[in-house]
């Protein structure tokens, strides 16, 4: 990673020094840096948002990858803010830009007014915009590191889920579809585990078994991110039944038997 990126992260930690305002999620020479900044959109009447910036090793030559989440905004609104930030980043010169992007967003009253104008629509569409995904992982050798990253990513992206450990390693996720996609992207681009020789490796063999809008049959959704072990298919079926996802289990079962 570049010295400019490291220096910028140090400066950011000094600027956003309030409690819970800044967090360094990931630091790796191979994969770059992932930082989280909790901020507001649109000046004094702003809305709280959580911003995730992935500064890849080539940053700032290339803009950062960005994720946006908020309990005050709909998933679509978060996606629109993310796209606005990406467009803004693409228009800036290739130099450290995270603070500039956050400052711009904090003062962007137009974004706030658009967000507030759709609050009634948000309430009606909130449930429709929740998605469920089941991922299949290849292996978990460095258990504490791998699980720690999954837990941190789920919190940062406001996803809930289950990690089911057994003959098949499954991750059940619920939340905004763009955030689920960002979770999958991190899995494939960050060195989360070690291979058979002990070298750090990415989760290149991850498969998405199912991805669909959250069904009303799934109850009120998952809470937190829970790790659970199972020893047989009946125990795995019971784990899905416990979270009201028997139908999902039946859909992915053929893939588990391959």
pLDDT digits (tens, 9 = 90+) for 44-100: 556 788 999 999 999 999 999 999 888 877 778 888 888 889 988 988 889 999 999
- Average pLDDT, integer, range 106-112: 65
Q: Please give the pLDDT value at position 223.
A: 84
Please report whether residue 121 resides in a domain: no
- Residue 224: how many other CB atoms lie within 10 Å: 10
User: Is residue 124 in a domain?
Assistant: no
7/106 same-domain check: yes
**Does 109 share its domain with 30?**
yes
The CATH number covering residue 225 comes to 3.30.70.100
154 within domain boundaries: yes
Pairing of strands 160-165, 225-229: parallel
Does residue 86 fall inside a structural domain?
Answer: yes
Mean pLDDT of the 154-180 span: 91
Boundary (domain end) residue, out of 67, 86, 116: 116
The CATH number assigned to the domain holding 88 equals: 3.10.110.10
What is the count of structural domains for the chain? 2
Identify whether 175 is part of a domain: yes
Last residue of a domain, one of 92, 116, 140: 116
> Token pair 């995904």 is at which residue?
133
**Are residues 134 and 251 part of one domain?**
yes
With respect to residue 123, please indicate whether it lies within any of the assigned structural domains. Answer: no
How, if at all, do strands 32-41 and 47-55 pair?
antiparallel
Same structural domain, 105 and 145? no
If asked whether residues 86 and 56 sit together in one domain, one would say yes
Which pLDDT band holds residue 39 (cuts at 50, 70, 90)?
confident
What percent of the chain shows pLDDT beyond 90? 34
Distant-in-sequence contacts of 78-84, Cβ < 8 A, 24+ apart: 78/49, 78/176, 78/178, 79/176, 79/178, 80/114, 81/41, 81/49, 81/105, 81/111, 81/115, 82/178, 84/108, 84/111
Residue 122 falls inside a structural domain: no
Of 59, 85, 116, the last residue of a domain is 116
pLDDT at 204: 79
33 and 7 assigned to the same domain: yes
For residues 108 and 205, state if they share a domain: no
**Which pLDDT score is estimated for 178?**
87
- Residue 205 sits in which domain range? 130-256
Residues 110 and 163 both lie in one domain: no
């Amino acid at each position: 990673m570049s010295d400019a990126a490291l220096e910028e992260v140090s400066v950011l930690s000094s600027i956003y020094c309030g409690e819970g305002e800044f967090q360094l999620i990931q630091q790796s020479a191979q994969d770059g840096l992932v930082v989280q900044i909790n901020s507001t959109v649109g000046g004094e009447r702003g809305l709280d948002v959580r911003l995730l910036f992935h500064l890849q090793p080539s940053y700032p030559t290339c803009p950062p990858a960005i994720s946006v989440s908020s309990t005050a905004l709909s998933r679509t609104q978060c996606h629109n803010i993310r796209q606005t930030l990406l467009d803004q980043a693409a228009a800036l010169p290739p130099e450290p830009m995270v603070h500039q992007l956050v400052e711009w967003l904090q003062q962007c009253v137009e974004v706030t007014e658009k967000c507030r104008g759709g609050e009634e629509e948000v309430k009606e569409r909130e449930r429709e915009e929740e998605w469920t995904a089941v991922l299949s992982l290849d292996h978990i050798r460095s258990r504490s590191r791998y699980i720690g990253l999954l837990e941190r990513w789920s919190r940062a992206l406001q996803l809930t889920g289950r990690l089911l450990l057994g003959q098949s390693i499954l991750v059940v996720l619920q939340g905004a579809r763009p955030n689920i996609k960002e979770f999958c992207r991190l899995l494939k681009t960050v060195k989360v585990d070690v291979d058979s020789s002990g070298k750090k490796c990415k989760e290149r063999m991850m498969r998405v078994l199912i991805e669909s809008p959250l069904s009303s049959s799934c109850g009120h959704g998952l809470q937190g991110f829970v790790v659970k072990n199972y020893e047989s298919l009946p125990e795995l079926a019971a784990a899905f039944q416990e979270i009201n996802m028997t139908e999902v289990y039946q859909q992915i079962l053929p893939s588990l038997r391959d």
